[in-house]
Amino acid sequence: MNKPKLQLLRFLLILLVVMVLIPALLINYYLLNSMVTLAELSVRLIIGGLVWIGLAGIYAVVVYRIYQQRIEQPLQHFLATLEDISEGFIVDNVPQPIFLKAEPSISAAFDKVLQINHQMLKNVDHLEKGFEEERFAKLQQIKLTQAYERFVPHDFIRFLQKQSIIQVQHGDHVKTEMSVMFADIRSFTTLSESISPEENFQLLNSYFMRMEPIIQRNYGFIDKFIGDGIMALFHQDPDASIKAAGEMIAELKLYNTSRELAGFDSIRIGVGINTGSLMLGIVGGVNRMEGTVISDAVNVASRIEDLNKVYNTSILISESTYNQLREANRKTVRWIDKVEVKGKAQPLNVYEVFEADAPDTRYYKQIHKVLFEQAVACYHEQRISEAQAKLIELKDLCPEDILVNLYIDRCQEALRNLKAGE
């Protein structure tokens, strides 16, 4: 038997002797060592019995309290702790003072449980830290991927049949048919010279932020920003690109209203669209790659956009785009010219989209579309006088039509050249 148990047993025996046996002997001596009457003896017996019973009761209470403090209460807390642990709870704060007076075997077992519990806490903390680090690393990777995809659009990656930008490699490419859009701010160089560098970037970012959502909701994506220009690709039918261009012009009008109210000059843009076969792919060196589009369709779209400066128009499209439009969308598109383009053996037919024009102008262009196209055809067939007559008729109907005035000037110059050559 170990020392703590001997100490407890010795204490209980001493307490038994002091509180029960000695009082019993004293009571017995008190009763038997005196000559008393029977009545007095009866009284003494009752008093002695009550005293002995009281002392025995006190002894029992003391023993029970010792049992509670050293065995019952520690065991209850011990079992409750074990139950919590068995149900998956991590016990971090167990009331330990109750075990200070407990039986050593119980205290030792509880200390062992605490050691196991503390080790579990360390393991859980280690796991939580590991999970948190892993979660943080994944979040950082997601943010990094999202940041990369701002430079290489997700749609571009999707067309390469990749799930993520980290899968992209040199030489990845795909051939498909798309509509290519170029949008450029008119006279931006002149405008940028009159404002500070900070205002330049504010203007461009504000403009781009308004145009990007329009392109996206019309099933397109921005391939790149080229200075003040936008190059966008549309993988749906060309009607989506035409719709996007019209919405961009409408949004620009709202933006100009806010700029004018703030004391800034309004801006104009030109949009050119061409539809054709192209290759999307990844090019670059060891340390830098980028997505690019290789196609003659891209060059044509860029040149068509640049023609807006010549005709003072907002939206121009190629014949390949026009031919694929739904009939309903052709009502607000008219043929305006046939132009020579560098690198092309045949001249290109160019069409104006006037959907975003002012209501009166749009109505005029729509109802006189056939007459205008007849005049353009006469001009290119060298029937200059006939073309001029039709154009003069159109000018009387709508003096604001800039292209009518442009062709009248062309006819007059052609007639002068004819007279000079006679």
Tens digit of each residue's pLDDT (9 = 90 or more) over 212-270: 999 999 999 998 899 999 999 998 889 999 999 999 999 999 999 999 999 889 999 99
Residue 165 has pLDDT above 60, yes or no: no
Domain range summary for the chain, segments of one domain joined by +: 3-122, 155-354, 357-422
Whole-model pTM above 0.85?
A: no
pLDDT level of residue 152 (50, 70, 90 thresholds): low
Least confident of 46-50, 210-214, 259-263, 373-377: 46-50
pLDDT level of residue 91 (50, 70, 90 thresholds): low
Answer with the residue of higher pLDDT: 119 or 214. 214
Tens digit of each residue's pLDDT (9 = 90 or more) over 398-410: 888 999 999 999 9
pLDDT level of residue 313 (50, 70, 90 thresholds): very high
Residue 316 has pLDDT above 80, yes or no: yes
Answer with the residue of higher pLDDT: 151 or 23. 23
Instruction: Read off the tokens for 335.
Output: 């043929």
DSSP 342-391: TT-SSPEEEEEE-TTS-HHHHHHHHHTHHHHHHHHHHHHTT-HHHHHHHH
Q: Averaged over 150-177, what is the pLDDT?
A: 61
Helices (H), 33-103: 38-67, 73-86
* Bridge partners, 269 (sequence order): 185
CATH top-level class of 155-354: alpha beta
